[in-house]
Amino acid sequence: MQFKVYKLLYVLILSFFLLAQSQAAQEFVIQDIRVEGLERITPGTVFNYLPMKVGDTFDDSRSSEAVRALFKTGFFEDVKLERDGNNLILIFKERPSIGSITLSGNDDIKTDELLENLKQFGFAEGRVFVQSTLDQVELELQRQYYANGKYGVKINSSVTELDNNRAGILIEVSEGLAAKIKKINIVGNTVYEEKKLLKQFKLSTSTWTSFYSNNDQYSKQKLSGDLESLRSFYLDDGYLNFNIDSTQVSITPDKKDIYITINITEGEQYSVSEVKLAGDYLLPEESVFELISIQSGNLFSRKKITDSTKALTDVLGQEGYSFANVNAIPDINAEDKTVSMTFFVDPGKRVYVRRINFSGNAKTKDVVLRREMRQQEGAWISTSQVERGKQRLQRTGFFEEVNVETPSVAGTTDQVDINYSVEERSGGQLGAGIGFSQTQGLIFNTSISQNNILGTGNRLNFQFNNSDVNTRYGLGYSTPYFTDDGIGSAYDVFYRETNAAESNLALFETKEYGATLAFSLPVTEYNTIGTAVGYTNTQIKTEAATSFQINDFLNKNGNQYDILKLSANFAYDTRNKAVLPDKGILQRISATVSVPSFGNSLEYYKVNYEATWFKDLYQGDFILALGGDFGYGDSYGDTSELPFFENFYAGGPRSLRGYEENTLGPRDNTNRALGGDTRIIANAEIILPVPFLAEYKNSVRLTTFIDAGNVFGSNEDVSFGEMRYSAGLSAIWISPFGAISASLAAPFGDKSTDQIQNFQFTFGTSF
């Protein structure tokens, strides 16, 4: 037994000695380093990661260090180190690169959006393929679908070998159906009924609008937003200690139904005992208190506090203190349930503007943008003027989107640059109106315009229509800055031959030619006065079936006229955009009077008032738009009545949708539309969020509407009992070729003699 032990010790000692000799033999000074097996990776990349160089001593410890460093790069599937004399040989087997990534079945989330998110994981074409990264990608895709309520999603991936050591990745997505919210429970509410609290939520159980709004599809982000809305509801009503204790979201085993339970603690209602100011608020104390909407004795309201803080910050920003900081500090008295509010104002330094820069205007000249600025370089910054500059750029209609940033100037504490970035809209437009009637067939008219010719901001417009029944030619040119201080001018010449019957009117034809010269003068930032003078030579041609009313007018006044018209208008316009506005007010009143001139003239006048008003109903998702149009005309002097070809008309996509264009109002003895001297139009629309197209909100609009109005003749009393109404849906798309609109309307309050046209479509209409 003892002999065996000695023998074993001898073998171990001998093995250790031979191993030490072997290790010692492997140590050598590296004379050269060679690499083999590389395909895409360059030797330089290898040497950057290799923790040794020529001249170093190589041993087993350095070998392990080198292998670990090279494997850590993630570039290689296998690494071997061999010795050739005093040369070190590195032999590699590279991992394949990702040659292609293909996704299929992903309807809810766009492929481009998914691929962009996958880049964050280092998973993109050209990157090294690692199976563990693909596994992470599958988990991330699953997480994204879970966030959208698609709990039944299945994701399968496969890898295909391609040439040149590349891998093709196929990711197949089976989205399944989105889980629906079956019930939302709020536990702990004693002050308000659950029904009232759930009105604060965007999420809900299934309703008749869910197919459109998807409000019954669970989303973690939507729930977070709803919980914040619930919190705001309580905090705005004095419940200072309101708390959401917990939220449970459970899903049925079949992954189709979701139950949400929200546990809350309402707490006690607090009121404001005192409002104080602290810090350096610069303005007179009385002026500052006028900006604070929460007062002593009011219920505590986070919204009023936030609004007050913003109002103070905005006023200081207008005075150049753009980095002003206003903090509302509450002092809570739990015994009497009151809060003392202190608004601490730190204005910081007054900030000046170094430069105003523009980017994205590849076609539009820099001066066209710069002349819309209200903020000046070298002056202290006014946040309201910076924002006004953005609005004025939007109102030009030349840009799809406008953004502004105010970065600090490096190395300074009191200077900023203002950077406006724009996305240009196509300036050229092909406009057309398309309609169809059973008697006239297809009606078509066209126009070509260039709103920003040669990047100057000027507009060139050419209208033409050369059909069997209509011939129209018009050439117009306008410049919004005829002078440097903003006086605009417009010139227009035209020739028209029109068969009125083709526009659903009485039987007569006109031949007209003339010209107009107009000017606009900005009075204030939002008020503009316009004037115009125009000359029109008009000839009227009748048919055997022309009505008595028209023939009677022609017998009294002749059938050819030289009309000189003077026009004036006043506009108040605070809308935020020229195309598809959603904020602000427009009011415009205009008057036109024909004055005695050479030849056979007519004497009449027309007055028109139009207004549009926008109101945010709910967090910018739903916007109320109210509009009105009132027109009145009459004759004076030797002319006995308003000329029939100057009458007002109603009906069609530009006034009362659902009725054929120009068909409402008085009719002549042949039962054709004659128009009238009084027009009343009113519209109420709710601008809806556009499903699946949120990124196109600047060029796509969907509304639900109610239209009302009619036209009345000189021998008729204006009666609301004779008003016509319609309700429906409309859509507008500002395409690269012009505006396209469509409406589906159901008239009501109509008469049996009215001409109904439920679906209407126009191309090239101005909005």
- DSSP-derived 3-state class of residue 276: strand
CB of 585 closer than 8 Å to CB of 575: yes
Place of tokens 């050598």: 28
Q: Which has the closest alpha carbon to 508: 653, 655, 673, 660?
A: 673
Tell me which amino acid residue 184 is.
Answer: I
Write out pLDDT tens, residues 122-164. 787 877 787 777 888 888 888 878 777 778 788 888 888 887 7
Tokens, residue 58: 């190589």
CB of 7 closer than 8 Å to CB of 18: no
Q: Looking at the whole model, is its pTM more than 0.85?
A: no
pLDDT for the residue 397:
83
Distance CA 575, CA 148 (A): 36
Cα torsion 279, 285, 291, 292: sign: positive
- Identify the segments of the chain with pLDDT beneath 70: 1-26, 211-213, 427-447, 465-469, 691-696, 737-738, 763-767
In the chain the domains, ranked by start, together with CATH numbers, are 25-94 (3.10.20.310), 97-174 (3.10.20.310), 180-265 (3.10.20.310), 271-346 (3.10.20.310), 352-424 (3.10.20.310), 428-763 (2.40.160.50)
> Cα–Cα distances in Å, from 679 out to 245, 323, 626, 641, 726?
59, 52, 17, 16, 17
* Number of other CB atoms surrounding residue 348 within 10 Å: 14
Distance CA 553, CA 561 (A): 13
Write out pLDDT tens, residues 169-198. 888 888 777 778 899 999 999 999 999 999
Sort strands 441-450 and 459-466 into parallel, antiparallel or unpaired: antiparallel
What distance separates the 2 farthest-apart alpha carbons in the chain? 147
CB of 326 closer than 8 Å to CB of 343: yes
CB of 482 closer than 8 Å to CB of 371: no
Strands (E) located in 337-424: 338-346, 352-359, 399-405, 415-424
Distance CA 452, CA 399 (A): 10
CB of 184 closer than 8 Å to CB of 197: no
Q: What are phi and psi of 676, to 5 degrees?
A: -150, 180
- The set of long-range contacts for 552-559, using a CB threshold of 8 Å and a minimum separation of 24, is 553/641, 553/643, 553/644, 556/640, 557/600, 557/602, 557/639, 557/643, 558/600
Tokens, residue 195: 């029904």
- DSSP-derived 3-state class of residue 296: coil
Distance CA 640, CA 557 (A): 9
Write out pLDDT tens, residues 502-553. 777 888 889 999 999 999 999 999 999 999 999 999 999 988 888 888 998 9
Tokens, residue 398: 């030349």
Helix 220-235 to helix 131-147 angle (10° resolution) is: 40
- DSSP-derived 3-state class of residue 330: strand
